[in-house]
Amino acid sequence: MKTEIIIRNLRIHGYHGLKEAEKALGQIFEVDITCDMHTDVPPRDVMEDTVCYGEICDLVASVSETEVFNLIETLAERIAAAIFANFPPIQKIRVEIRKPRAPIRHIVNHVGIAIERERHG
């Protein structure tokens, strides 16, 4: 059986980017996360049978607050690695990061990236 943990539009603050203003002022990033858990038994209606989405949100915010990255691709990789390290039931993850106020001269709603990773071993 597969269960998805879904987090949409988590807003985190960080100092990520290539431009000096991004590193000095910081900005808001929007994050979507989908985590796949697989189990052989149906859930028993207890927290031990799942992963707390609030704890995932706390972890994502912590990753963004404790390191500075030039690329949001690297931020997404670190988020995925941290989730795998802290939540063994998660087997697959998709992380999407959007920059709603990217410092580009074009009018866009947002720019961003997405990665998908699977646990190995």
Encode pLDDT of 72-115 as tens digits. 999 999 999 999 999 999 999 999 999 998 888 888 888 999 99
What is the H or E stretch that residue 91 is in? strand 90-99
> Is the model more confident about 17 or about 47?
17
Paired tokens of 12: 């985190």
Q: In what order do the strands lie in the sheet with 90-99?
A: 2-14, 27-38, 90-99, 111-118
> Is the model more confident about 56 or about 38?
56
Average pLDDT, the chain: 92
pTM, two decimals, is 0.91
Q: Which of 99, 96, 77, 80 is nearest to 28 (CA)?
A: 99
Of 16-20, 36-40, 85-89, 111-115, the range with the lowest mean pLDDT is 36-40
| CA separation for the pair 38, 34 (Å, rounded) | 13
Q: Is the dihedral of CA 29, 91, 53, 2 positive or negative?
A: positive
Q: Which of 30, 16, 23 is nearest to 75 (CA)?
A: 16
Cβ atoms of residues 7 and 53 within 8 Å:
yes
Name the active-site residue from 19, 23, 92, 99. 99
Q: Return the percentage of the chain with pLDDT > 70, whole number.
A: 99
Domains of the chain: 2-118 (3.30.1130.10)
99: annotated active-site residue: yes
